[in-house]
Structure 1
Amino acid sequence: MLLYISTAVLALLALAWTYTSLQHPRRKYPPGPKGLPIVGNLFDVPMKNGWITFCDWSRRYNSDVVHVEALGKHIYAVNSAQAAKDLFDGRPQIYSDKEQSVMTHELSGWRRAWALSPFDDVWREHRRLFHKHFGPGVASRHHHKQEKAMRRLLLLLLDAPEDFSAHIRYAAGSVILDVVYAFDALPGDVRIGQIEPAVQTFTALMETGVYLVDVFPILKYIPAWFPGAQFKRQAAQYKHLVDVMFKAPYEQFKAAWAKGVAQPCFLGSLLGDSEMALDYEREDFLTNLTGTVYAAGSDTTVAAMNTFVLAMVMYPEVQTYVQEELDRVVGRDHLPTMSDRERLPRVMAIVHEVLRWHPPLPLATPHRTMSDDVYNGRFIPSGSVIFGNSWAMLHDPATYPAPHTFDPKRFLTRSGVLRDDVPLPTEVFGFGRRACPGRYFAVDMLFLAVAHILAVFAVERAKGARGPVDVKEEFTPYVLSLPKPFRAHFWPRFDGAEELIRSAAAADM
């Protein structure tokens, strides 16, 4: 039975390839590996560490944009900041859409994530409301909640430093819950536990790549019990996790709102500003808007904060350099706040270098072209998938010498102020009109994490039976890329640090 199905699929692909070849004249595409008949570059498309593969192709073919074609789908990777600016910023009417997958968006429930939705009026309304509450002019309204989360993180690191990665996940999840829903989540809160398994479904979908149902959408109508319909059963499991992550906190806040006991937050502002009755359609809109903040903001922050810890373990001299600034500017009798940011350029240099050294999304989520285009004489057809290779741009040796080395000083002048002639790593937040609108919140969060941790702790390699445990620069090879599990230890670095941590955390309990 499976043999017949496979034969039929190959026959259909062959017919589709033949038809496409006859209907469309040969075009001059950007360079890339030579494909095979029918399947094209199906076996060339990288499923792991794609940012490195695309960067290597860019060098091999001496082209900022590289191209492959798989099963009739054109795939492009943009590997230079200039090409990204030309295409994503310069031609937003073509490059602002997002690729949609039957398996990911429709069957597995990720249509709820408006950051991944098509470039339409619904997306524009989502982004307008988000920017209204998280844009640069209003980011300060969230600082007190971000600072509270960091003070709690310090206490957890003091009492159980070996579990630092779990503590980071708690801190990132708790501040999102607080800002979006006004939930004061303590460690172990089940709502934070809802984030990881749901987000892991997206990672798993991206790791798998193209499902057969994406090639032949009619397959979505086969019942889940049908032989070979494992993808339907898997999608149902994924959709349940995704729906819970989006809907559960919304419903809990709505109940508090109805009782008149809800506290100020993002969702409360949305409900208070709304002139519309909360019908089903409007509620679905708000559930998706707030849930996307909850899902996307947490995991990327976790990845960046773990990368920071890894860098501190591997480059202890950087700690000493930054701690000298913290002691001089802030002192040792209180913790840093956002008001100290302008006076802490070394801390900000670490923030920039963490994002540049290994961005949480090395390949920004794929865009989709909305019409045909030509760039540098090369054809890019409508409906193509196009990636912005953030990692390649942030590791361009012409812009960032010795790009594989963690060196925050690259962003500083000799006198110790931030340089204005070295580009900040804005590519880490995506491109064009689909750039992450939460980037100001994210940078503030990372600044506070770096400043708080280095103010009171020395971050060191963990001790094993034979001495310090070795740590390597290793990251997971998928869409959301974070350091592979490693060990680290956090030591109070001066007398009085423990008392400072405990008194600051007690004030927030």
Structure 2
Amino acid sequence: MFSLLSSEFILLSASTLFVYVLYQSRAKPQKLPLPPGPSKLPFVGNAFSFPSTFEWEAFTQWGKDYNSDILHLSVFGISIVVLNSFEATRDLLEKRSTLYSSRPRFHLITEVMGFEWLIPFMPYGNAWKERRRILQRHFHSQNDALVRPVELKYTRGLLLKLLEDPSTNFRTHVRHAIGSTLMSLTYGTKTHSMSDPIVEVAEETGHHLSQNATPATVLIDKLPFLIPILSPFLSASAFKKPRAFWDKLTLTLRETPFAVVQREMADGTAEPSFVSKALEDISGTQDTAKQHQIIKDVAALVFIGSGTTNAVMQTFFLAMTLFPEAQAKAHEEFDRIIGRGRLPDFDDMPHLPYIAALIREVHRWKTPGPFGIPRILEQDDEYKGYLLPAGSFIMSNAWAIQYNEEQYPNPSTFLPDRFMKDGKLDASLPDPSVVSFGFGRRTCPGMPVANSSVWLMIASLLSVFEIIPPVDEKGVQILPKGNYVSGMTFHPAPFDCVVRPRHKEVEVLIRGTADIHA
């Protein structure tokens, strides 16, 4: 039972909430209608119907129910606008980016967990612009001469690990290859173990962010005084860990590898990396401490970004396990265009259209970011005859875009051929990977690096391996169920598959090209 004090607190919170909702509803007269959406109850709005997991699927269905690519919901007076089409998302987040580029406060992420330094959760302003600028300067497509040799090294190391140790779960080898690539690009340091502590901390941080930045938990951004009441009913790990836990993650991510690079630069042993080059770029007229802080923030973000690439690669392994006909077509394209005498490299990219189509379908079929991080509308706006109220949370539904049945018939089926036309990539269909990386001023600057890493890993794996389901003691295939984990980063639940060489020349081919230090 509640004590008298807790009962008084609940009564005070409810009263405060009632006044807040009443103010929100009467603050501005509405001359235009709101976008359509589920019926709202007095006072609570859509609080009882708001999904807590797999939100994107519910919003996609509501878009069909109300025949609209833009929806309006309300939870305790908080206005929420859901964008369910590429057109609406592009029109607002790109063409009107001055109004749609900032973020809500993210009370859980920034204040409870202490990740206010993470760029994706920063409001639009000078601090965000400074970090964005340095990201764009160092992580762009013109930097291929520095990026691609590192990607080649660790991708070929991945092939060797899968050849020598196929019994180990493929996820372990993949996460090590991705983490090592980002570690090398960001800090110039090498990871020598599949359980490197820095890589593990980055992955753990990404996992917690994915679970705590969901639309359901972000709603308390405007209602932080309800946290003591709501926290027992929410699964967000932010409520279950002490602040010291989050501070330790931050210290490990931002300070430890940065200090290593500084020490190596002083010794003259530093490898070229984002951090070393960014430190060299600091001029004598700049505030050195401030610049160091910016570099630390950007470097840690790049490293945490391994979660999205990992999700894409896990979906790739699942798709190959479940859809062998797509894998067979990829093998045929390799044998016909490259042959079996060498591994693919980046020069082969324009000549392997089916591989490109397969990668696009991986992004579309189970997009790694089905729901964009919410933005906040700076002032009242009008779109398609509807009022979009100032202060609204703007949520772009990438899942609805990727599952548009007019553009992608039978969207639940994994079908790379949907992106092919007359033996070439169909230029009339947009690249789904673009949707995965966001819109407008908030588009992820790391997209070129992520896309090139994914292409090389998938192309290399398909050139030498066959990915098949395991079998039971009777020789019957055990197909994965294909379940997924709900979160900001969307990835399959753990499943098993077998990775085996496609032909007898594979071992010589891999050992002849792999860097033993990768």
Query: What TM-score do the two structures reach when normalised by structure 2?
Result: 0.91
Question: Match for residue 235 of structure 2?
Answer: none
Deviation larger for 491-500 or 269-278:
269-278
Question: Match for residue 407 of structure 1?
Answer: 415
Question: Match for residue 207 of structure 2?
Answer: 200
Task: After TM superposition, list the pairs within 5 Å mapping 1:375-394 onto structure 2.
Answer: 375-394=383-402
Structure 2 residue 103 is matched with structure 1 residue 98: yes
Task: Specify which of 139, 148, 156 is matched with residue 143 of structure 1.
Answer: 148
Q: What amino acid sits opposite 2:425 in the alignment?
A: L
Task: Specify which of 287, 292, 298 is matched with residue 289 of structure 1.
Answer: 298
Question: Match for residue 183 of structure 2?
Answer: 177
Q: What amino acid sits opposite 1:39 in the alignment?
A: V
Q: Number of matched residues?
A: 498
CA RMSD of aligned residues (A): 2.1
Q: Which runs of 5+ in 2 are unaligned?
A: 229-237
- Asked if 1 retains the 8 angstrom alpha-carbon contact of 2:119 and 2:128, the reply is yes
- Asked if 1 retains the 8 angstrom alpha-carbon contact of 2:104 and 2:221, the reply is no
- Asked if 1 retains the 8 angstrom alpha-carbon contact of 2:99 and 2:377, the reply is yes
- Asked if 1 retains the 8 angstrom alpha-carbon contact of 2:107 and 2:224, the reply is no
Question: Match for residue 225 of structure 1?
Answer: none
Distance 1:459 1:118 in 2: 43
Q: 1:508 to 1:342 in 2, by over 3 A?
A: farther
Shift of 1:116: 2.3
Q: What amino acid sits opposite 1:139 in the alignment?
A: D
- Asked if 1 retains the 8 angstrom alpha-carbon contact of 2:153 and 2:515, the reply is no
Question: Match for residue 9 of structure 1?
Answer: 13
Q: What amino acid sits opposite 2:123 in the alignment?
A: P
Q: 1:232 to 1:479 in 2, by over 3 A?
A: closer
Distance 1:107 1:152 in 2: 39
Q: Report percent identity of matched pairs.
A: 31
Question: Match for residue 316 of structure 2?
Answer: 308
The C-alpha deviation readout for 1:408-440, integer Å capped at 9, x for no partner, is: 1111122x2111111211211111111111111
- Asked if 2 retains the 8 angstrom alpha-carbon contact of 1:107 and 1:232, the reply is no
Shift of 1:93: 0.6
Secondary structure of 2:334's match? helix
Question: Match for residue 476 of structure 1?
Answer: 485
Q: What amino acid sits opposite 1:127 in the alignment?
A: R
Question: Match for residue 189 of structure 1?
Answer: 196
Query: What TM-score do the two structures reach when normalised by structure 1?
Result: 0.93
Structure 2 residue 59 is matched with structure 1 residue 51: no
Q: What amino acid sits opposite 1:170 in the alignment?
A: H
Shift of 1:465: 2.5
Question: Match for residue 340 of structure 1?
Answer: 348
- Asked if 2 retains the 8 angstrom alpha-carbon contact of 1:100 and 1:118, the reply is yes
Q: 1:299 to 1:255 in 2, by over 3 A?
A: same
Structure 2 residue 176 is matched with structure 1 residue 167: no
Question: Match for residue 130 of structure 1?
Answer: 135
Structure 2 residue 80 is matched with structure 1 residue 75: yes
Shift of 1:200: 2.2
Task: After TM superposition, list the pairs within 5 Å mapping 1:30-49 onto structure 2.
Answer: 30-49=35-54
Shift of 1:214: 4.9
Distance 1:140 1:330 in 2: 23
Task: After TM superposition, list the pairs within 5 Å mapping 1:98-497 onto structure 2.
Answer: 98-162=103-167, 163-186=169-192, 187-206=194-213, 209-210=217-218, 214-216=222-224, 231=239, 234-276=242-284, 279-296=288-305, 298-414=306-422, 416-425=423-432, 426-466=434-474, 467-497=476-506
Shift of 1:164: 0.2
Secondary structure of 1:98's match? coil
The C-alpha deviation readout for 1:424-464, integer Å capped at 9, x for no partner, is: 11211111111111111111111111111011101000122
The C-alpha deviation readout for 1:181-215, integer Å capped at 9, x for no partner, is: 11111222221111122222212323561486751
Secondary structure of 2:302's match? helix
Distance 2:462 2:322 in 1: 15
Distance 2:507 2:181 in 1: 23
Q: 1:506 to 1:236 in 2, by over 3 A?
A: closer
Distance 1:257 1:448 in 2: 31
Shift of 1:66: 0.6
Distance 1:161 1:79 in 2: 41
